[in-house]
Structure 1
Amino acid sequence: MMDEYVERTARVLELEPRFSAIADAPRLPRRRERQLPVPELEIDMLDFLSLYGCDLQVVVGEKNSIMGRVMQPLNRLRYELRFIEAARECLPDIEREELADSVREAVDGKLESLPVVVWNATWGVEEIESLLTLAKGPLPVDAIGATAAALGKDLERLNGAIRKLNRKELALDLEFVGRVHQHWDVEYRAGQVLNSAVLLITRLQDATGLIRQRLEGRPLCFEGKANNQARIVQSMFFSVYVERVQPYLADVSRVRAELIEPLAELASLQQAAMPASFRSYFEQGLAQEGGGVWHRLDQATDNHTRAWQQLLEQCGMRPGA
């Protein structure tokens, strides 16, 4: 559709079409580059045994089991929260001050490393790779909107939980996060809309270049009087740009608002833990400001609109006039 749009813009303006190479969309860093090491706390075994009758002993025992040593990131987050809760409940019953100090230090350490564990349970999971894959091409024309909206609601709930964790409100039910990950694993709408953004930037710039080339050359109309060619240009503007390209731009804008902006918030809420390897991806593919994809798409759309206005204004046909 976008290639045809550039071709038809060139044809009605009596110019040769020019197609720029479409760059790759920002690519999510590999999992080993996204995941962060979690500091491990060692509890002396004799001290551990002395906690008999305290739930903390059960929690730590689960972590030291064979299954506990290979915890998935989300389960690790649940474990860390359970540890903190159990340790705090256990502290009033610990009679040995030295052991109580060790447990307090353990709680402080867990709280300090919690942002890292939260990061791994969101941006470090395998499932988000499916959501952001670039392998499924651009967003289809007439894409159904329910999927992006549902994913966005998932993210809003997840972001709400992270805001609470950032405020050290740890009494959370995180069962829903597993379902969020499952949804990520079977959808790829975010990667598609990133591909679409890069495609639109490139082809809109190509078409804008053609319009400006005509503006700088022979006028489409003289003295503001429409002619036959101007009417052909106007007809193509409405039949292709207004009726086909603009609805696609609107679809991309909707998915951006429903899905990309909550994803950007998911990263922004975790700036303190964000690894350097991820920051460039965040700035180029998710952030709404700066020099990233979405800012460049806004610029390309605005420039294209102004170019059409200037061209059609030569003939007294400016849209909206």
Structure 2
Amino acid sequence: MPFSLQPLLSGFTLPDLPAAFLCMVLVALMIRAGVMDHPIHRSSHTRPIPKGGGIGIIGAFLLCLPPALYLTHQSFFTGPILGLIGGVVLLATVSWLDDLYSFPARYKLAAQFIAAALAAFGSGASLPLTVLFVLGAVFITNALNFIDGINGLASGVMALSALFLAASGIQPVVFVLFAICLLVFLPWNFPKARIFMGDVGSQSGALIIAWGAMQPHHFAAMLTLALLSGVLWDVLFTLARRARAGDHLAQAHRGHLYQLAVRSGIPMPLVTVIYWGFVLWGALACLAGQPWETGLLVLLPQLCWTGYVCTRAKARVQDHW
């Protein structure tokens, strides 16, 4: 699976510049708006921090995507693009309202399924494959939302993933624009957080990345899963571990691998960089070509990381995990 600068560079368009500026303005406005994320027992932060930075990311992306497509002679009025925009607008709206008012989980899950179905619209896939896409998109949406618990982790993972998707020729205009919006936001959130993305950023952004797996490229799904392997493994392992321990799976907790790593004394910025490294490793693993080879290659560092973190947690984390 070759990556190339040619499709990556072809994804850069003039509207990327106003998108970067607009993202900065919106993020700054959200900081001034003062919608705060107050720390609770499972939080990684210890003081109230503004949230809603995802409005800058998603707002700039949505407003600048139509002219970016127009300048590259691509139609905005196609099934895949309209489905993506519809799904992102729906999920961003519901996620922001949830950030403000805390909806019941069933309403949020329903919005995720509808948004994923909209994103899958126009993919041209068979009905069984479309259903699989929708289920996968909902899982990825929740996984990146769960993982958005320390500075820069989710936004950095999504930015790198978007760049590799673009470099492989998968919707380069879309993913370069999205990566730029994420990279503009990142200094506001890493290494020190002045604002959080909130659900509006993590869930809507995750849907955009998941949409990459739905594109008509024979390696799109494999590449997307490999790029997100660190995030997906963390969530799957944590669910399996908590199920075996008899914990309530829907209950909020601090038992993800990245959280245990921080609680065991690994510096938070280092944990974030390690998860960025998993994205880079996933891209390299895809060069193996065969799905089973890629799967084995992405699994190896996850097993090593899991063993290391769990060993540290047993020795250093005193409360329940």
TM bucket, shorter chain: under 0.3
TM-score for the superposition, normalised by structure 1 = 0.27
Greater relative contact order (CA < 8 Å, ≥ 6 in sequence): 1
Structure number, greater radius of gyration: 1
TM-score for the superposition, normalised by structure 2 = 0.27
